[in-house]
């Protein structure tokens, strides 16, 4: 039922061949598919998703977050200039007269727009909604063009690293509660990266493009990144080697101490600010008992334009033979200037820090290992007929059950076979069936069948509600 | 915070003036707004929405429904030919190379596409999601271009009126549970309308257009509809008067009996089929104890192309002085041929019946009467500092609370004022605050303050968790 029909054909330039074909065929028959990179979720997938999202919401609630909602589309100009090179992946709406609109690319920019528009100075909110990227699902395996994001952000002017540490705590709690095994939160700081580039004598105007190259290190090896920096970005080998000596470093507090002793670095004020932030963050994380989960990783760059301070990314560690490699499952950081971009005249300054949980990846891990016995509905009682002509009595009893608050169903056929009805109960794991028959009804009773044990007993119609209540809720 | 910024300016032809202006202004400043007809929902609005949606989901679950999800956009051809004249309101995506896409207009067509694509023969599902219509929010007061739909549908080949009656039961349960006062479910049947048109000697090719005119009767008076049929649709006055004698009728079983005696009508087989359906539906609704809520209303037409049988619409009855007029709050009907349209060659026949709850209208009614004391977060305990220098101790105790599963917060400032912290608790209605102070901590205790009563007592750090547990959960 949850068959996802994703186009296997992968070009994003020009119209896909597959679509050309299907549009030729269109006169004969409709192309019966979801759009490329989008998919339906059937009842089983939805049951898994809802359980997972509820676990996340519980954590957000535990940390005092409220929730907000924003439209699926924004004015094009709201999204403009926020995503660097990724802007080409934004879905535009057709100009049908009126405003120029685009589908949201993430939940962060709409959040910043919301804060600015409503003149909010402090808010801690979560937002779970779909975002849209005209990515190439062929290249990025397991990634879709329409996918859920699940964001938690803290906006407001506060003392350093207190909200940042809580975001990391939230990530750790979620990954723990969801139960996806060991994980690590890689940390870095945009100002530390800038400091490193400055220490390595990268010209300031190149910081941005070097950052983009470094960001690819989790997908391609150092040699390829090095090659790109030499050939495409025209950097000196000497500079690159200096950068390499930093971005290959990762570790805990000891690495931080090592960096504090690096005079090349500590004479750059920006780098010192970053090191101070990181030191504080390590201290707070220790108190919040997540210090063992964090690791400073100088190769972490995170591509988005808007980050200004701490950046982090949670990755799963494959400590078993599980072949499913999922990589990053959450990412975030501090973006202190995004809100201000929406109204430069007003000089509104609302620093923010937040995290986006990679729910789609978590879904697919949990989906892959979920067994088929998961229920997709919650029906507690099925009202069955033992023979023909009982549908009016069924409706009467059903109504009694619904009125009493039970989750109850029956067959929409006038004269269903008893075997079919019981089989349905077994397939859907409905715990109880009430079986109606003329003989029993004449005596004012019905049969109550426990589906799992197949045991039946006679229950008076007068005490049926109590009996079910006792069996279903009292334990 | 929930200020909705809807464009008051209303033309759908050509670019809106307001946008033109703001695009001129754009070089100076960004237009800080949501797209026309779309709005944000702040924490308070979301709290109301989530409570309402949960009530609805409970009813759907009570009736054994599963849930599914479909993409926000569909191939354009999937939506084509399903919405009659309303198709002009569909939002198209820009052709950026690839497939031609459009935002979904309702949840029914994607549901039928899902059934057809996955070869499903039976499913009972609910789906809560946003849909998109380039309507004119100016004309249709209180309506937005992006809005939630909340659908419950039963697909499958069953005996007549059993699923249909359950849909009406679901509507009545929801409107009862939500608590929006008295309501009525108006009923009609597409085949009865066709029968009436035939009996009134309307040419068959005119059925559709007459139906569209009749559909306007809840918005404009009969004289205006009559005028439209004469002037725009060129119908004879005689025919119109005959139609009028029917479409002004409404009532219960007695009206049904009266129609059974109408020989003009009963010699038309389609009309008899409809009357039989309606008779059965009245019988079932009586058993489900919703007969008092339903009323046959021959002026009910419902515009959408895909209905084939029973159609219905729930309206609120203003029995008090409430000035808020909201009209229709749910609508639905039977659409037996929609699934088959997706794959005519396969001759797949999956009859469906369903209802769409007008959640946005219910939201606005409940929002209008909700008081300002509603909580938007669920924090149970706030950890406060009585004086400077306690932030590390706060983090430690917070972590203890989080680990024990409490919803807890603190200030993200190193040295917040006690008064500010307590005021925050009162504003957010957080039930308890733990107040840390050096003197108390030295003795291994903290102050526990009940925010509503402002009573404080000393609690040992060792028994804090138990004490909070007892106070918050044991009752």
Q: What pLDDT, on the 0 to 100 scale, is given for residue B28?
A: 45
Q: Which residues of A touch B45 (CB under 8 A)?
A: 69
What is the per-residue pLDDT across A329-374, written as a single tens digit (0 to 9) for each? 999 999 999 999 988 777 789 999 999 999 999 998 888 887 777 8
ipTM of this predicted structure: 0.88
* Number of residues that make up chain A: 475
Minimal CA separation from A395 to chain B, in Å: 6
Distance CA A147, CA B52 (A): 25
- Rounded to a whole number, what is the distance in Å from the CA of B142 to chain A's nearest CA? 16
Contact A101 B35 (CB under 8 A): yes
Annotation-wise, does B11 bind a ligand? no
- Name the percent of chain A in helix, strand, coil, to the closest 5: 45, 20, 40
Surface-to-core class of residue A292, CB atoms within 10 Å of its CB (0-12 exposed, 13-18 middle, 19+ buried): exposed
Coil, helix or strand for B412?
A: coil
What was the pLDDT predicted at A449?
98
Torsion of CA A247, A252, A257, A260, to 10 degrees: 40
Inter-chain CB proximity A13 and B97 less than 8 Å: yes
Mean pLDDT of A270-297: 96
pLDDT number for residue B13: 32
Q: What is the 3-state secondary structure (H, E, C) of B336-385?
A: CCCHHHHCHHHCCCCCEEEEEECHHHHHHHHHHHCCCCCCCCCCCEEEEE
Of the ranges A108-117, A185-194, B22-31, B128-137, which one carries the lowest mean pLDDT score? B22-31
The SS3 assignment for A172 reads helix
The whole-angstrom distance between residue B66's C-alpha and the CA centroid of its chain comes to 17
pLDDT value for B221: 86
In this structure, what DSSP letter does residue A252 have?
Answer: S
pLDDT at site A143:
79
Q: How many CB atoms lie within 10 A of CB B136?
A: 15
Annotated binding-site positions of A for L-histidine? 106-108, 133, 149, 153, 302, 306-307
Residue B306, annotated as binding a ligand: yes
* Residue in B287, B376, B413 closest to A66 by CB: B376
C-beta atoms of A72 and B146 within 8 A: yes
Judging contacts by C-beta atoms under 8 Å, the chain B residues touching residue A3 are 117-118
Residue A308 Cα distances to A194, B43, B256, angstroms: 10, 27, 71
Torsion angle (degrees, nearest 10) of CA A270, A275, A278, A283: -140
CB contact (8 A) between residue A13 and residue B42: no
User: Would you report the helix, strand and coil content of chain B in percent, each value rounded to 5?
Assistant: 45, 20, 40
Among A299, A305, A116, smallest CA distance to A222 is for: A299
Cα distance between residue A91 and residue B99, in whole Å: 12
**Closest approach of chain A CAs to the CA of B446, in angstroms?**
19
- Region A212-216: mean pLDDT is 84
- Distance between CA atoms of residues B59 and A406, nearest Å: 10
**For chain B, domain boundaries:** 43-369, 381-473
Give the homologous superfamily in CATH for domain B381-473. Answer: Anticodon-binding domain (3.40.50.800)
What are the distances in angstroms from CA B25 to CA A79, B21, B29, B134?
17, 6, 6, 25
Instruction: Indicate the average pLDDT of chain B.
Output: 89
Torsions phi, psi of B443, nearest 5? -90, 5
**E strands present in A18-81:** 66-67, 73-75
Best A42, A165, A173, A285 member to test B by mutation, with max B CBs in 10 Å, is A42
Q: Phi/psi at B21 (nearest 5 deg)? A: -60, -50
Q: pLDDT below 70 — which residues of chain B?
A: 1-30, 137-142, 303-304, 319-326, 475
Q: Which residues of B touch A343 (CB under 8 A)?
A: 29-30, 32
> How distant is the Cα of A315 from the closest Cα of chain B, in angstroms?
22
CA nearest B360: which of B93, B75, B58, B48? B48
Q: Between residues B188 and A208, which one has the greater pLDDT?
A: B188
B106 among annotated binding-site residues:
yes
Q: Do B38 and A71 touch (CB under 8 A)?
A: yes
Q: CA B206, CA B224: separation in Å to the nearest integer?
A: 18
How many residue contacts between A and B have a Cβ separation below 8 Å? 288
CATH for A43-369? 3.30.930.10
**Neighbour tally for B268: CB within 10 Å:** 18
């Amino acid at each position: 039922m949850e068959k996802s029909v994703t186009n296997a054909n992968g070009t994003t330039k020009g119209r896909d061949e597959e679509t050309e074909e299907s549009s030729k065929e269109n006169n004969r028959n409709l192309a019966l598919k979801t759009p490329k990179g989008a998919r339906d979720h059937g009842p089983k997938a939805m049951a898994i998703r809802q359980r997972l999202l509820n676990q996340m919401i519980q954590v957000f609630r535990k940390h005092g977050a409220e929730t907000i909602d924003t439209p699926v589309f924004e004015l094009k100009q709201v999204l403009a200039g926020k995503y660097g090179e990724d802007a080409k992946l934004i879905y535009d709406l057709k100009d049908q007269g009126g405003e120029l609109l685009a589908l949201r690319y993430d939940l962060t920019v709409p959040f910043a727009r919301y804060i600015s528009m409503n003149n909010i100075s402090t808010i801690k909110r979560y937002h779970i909604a779909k975002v849209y990227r005209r990515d190439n699902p062929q290249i990025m395996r397991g990634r879709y063009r329409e996918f859920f994001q699940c964001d938690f952000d803290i906006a407001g002017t506060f003392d350093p690293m207190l909200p940042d540490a809580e975001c990391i705590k939230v990530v750790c709690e979620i990954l723990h509660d969801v139960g996806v095994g060991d994980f690590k939160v890689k940390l870095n700081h945009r100002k530390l990266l800038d400091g490193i580039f400055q220490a390595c004598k990268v010209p300031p105007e190149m910081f941005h493009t070097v950052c983009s190259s470094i960001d690819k290190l989790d997908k391609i090896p150092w040699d390829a990144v090095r090659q790109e920096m030499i050939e495409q970005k025209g950097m000196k080998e000497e500079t690159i080697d200096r950068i390499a000596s930093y971005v290959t470093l990762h570790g805990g507090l000891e690495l931080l101490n090592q960096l504090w002793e690096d005079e090349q670095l500590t004479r750059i004020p920006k780098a010192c600010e970053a090191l101070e932030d990181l030191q504080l963050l390590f201290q707070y994380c220790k108190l919040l008992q997540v210090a063992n989960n964090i690791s400073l990783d100088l190769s972490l760059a995170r591509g988005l334009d808007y980050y200004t301070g701490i950046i982090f990314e949670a990755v799963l560690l494959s400590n078993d033979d599980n072949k499913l490699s999922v990589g990053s499952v959450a990412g975030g950081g501090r973006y202190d200037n995004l809100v201000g971009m929406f109204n430069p005249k007003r000089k509104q300054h609302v620093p923010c820090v937040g995290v986006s949980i990679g729910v789609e990846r978590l879904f697919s891990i949990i989906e892959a290992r979920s067994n088929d016995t998961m229920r997709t509905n919650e029906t507690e009682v099925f009202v069955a007929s033992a023979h023909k002509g009982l549908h009016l009595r069924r409706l009467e009893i059903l109504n009694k059950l619904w009125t009493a608050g039970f989750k109850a169903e029956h067959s929409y056929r006038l004269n269903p076979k008893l075997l079919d009805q019981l089989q349905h109960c077994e397939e859907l794991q409905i715990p109880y069936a009430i079986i109606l028959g003329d003989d029993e009804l004449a005596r004012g009773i019905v049969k109550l069948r426990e589906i799992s044990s197949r045991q039946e007993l006679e229950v008076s119609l007068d005490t049926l509600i109590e009996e079910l209540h006792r069996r279903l809720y009292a334990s």
